[in-house]
Amino acid sequence: MKGNIFHILLFIFCSLFLFTKTTYASEGRISMQNGSVRCEGISIWQDISYRIVGRCQGLVYPYSERLDRYYLWVTPQGGKPVQISDVRAGIFDASSDKSFSSMFITAEDKIMPENPGKTIVSATIEPFPFGSTIGVAPTPITQTLTPTPIATSSAGLGSLFTKSPFSVFSSGAIVVLFLLLIGILVFVRR
């Protein structure tokens, strides 16, 4: 009986890996450029969503007479574009709980548009190259430590003022506790 339960649990565990749906990685580097407008950023998975942070250069405010706002959009896998953030002073900081394959910035005349307007720049996510090898091996850092002798003295309370502040504090705390103990004993005797 125990063997059957073990085999059933093993089958369920293995099935999780065999029958899982393929997900699309939305983590990576963002590089968008069109003419004089250039945007750089990253997208990383953080807690429960993708965090998308970046900066643009060359955005003109306003873009035209009526287009005075910029918005960041992502295109989820198999879905229609979703507006996730505005771009203020060339900086975007957004999050998306859905996996996406591309993103773009538009110029808009409305606040919080439902459909994208004029596309200014666009890009696909370039995955981080964690699997690739780097041609140069890291150089180990070696450091030789030489001990420095510390002069000690036994001058009694006079040396208390030449020590570190922590030593002074701990010595002072001991003196205060000693005085409190004497005060409590005197009070109890009366």
Domain assignments of the chain as residue spans, ordered by start: 28-124
- The larger pLDDT score, comparing residue 89 to residue 14, is at 89
Q: Looking at the DSSP assignment, which residues form a beta bridge with residue 56?
A: 39
Closest CA to 32 of 116, 123, 98, 101: 123
What is the Cβ-side half-sphere exposure of residue 189, based on CA atoms within 13 angstroms? 6
pTM reported for the whole predicted model: 0.56
> Domain 28-124 has what CATH class?
mainly beta
Q: Looking at the DSSP assignment, which residues form a beta bridge with residue 50?
A: 45, 96
Query: What does the alpha-carbon distance between residue 99 and residue 96 come to, in Å, rounded to a whole number?
Result: 7
User: What per-residue confidence (pLDDT) applies to 133?
Assistant: 56
> 11-20, 130-139, 141-150, 164-173 — which is least confidently predicted?
11-20
Please report, rounded to a whole number, the percentage of residues in the chain having pLDDT higher than 90: 32
User: What per-residue confidence (pLDDT) applies to 6?
Assistant: 47
Query: What does the alpha-carbon distance between residue 127 and residue 26 come to, in Å, rounded to a whole number?
Result: 8
Q: Which two tokens stand for residue 77?
A: 């896998």
The position carrying tokens 């059933």 is 8
User: What per-residue confidence (pLDDT) applies to 84?
Assistant: 93
Quickly list H helices, the chain. Answer: 2-18, 165-189
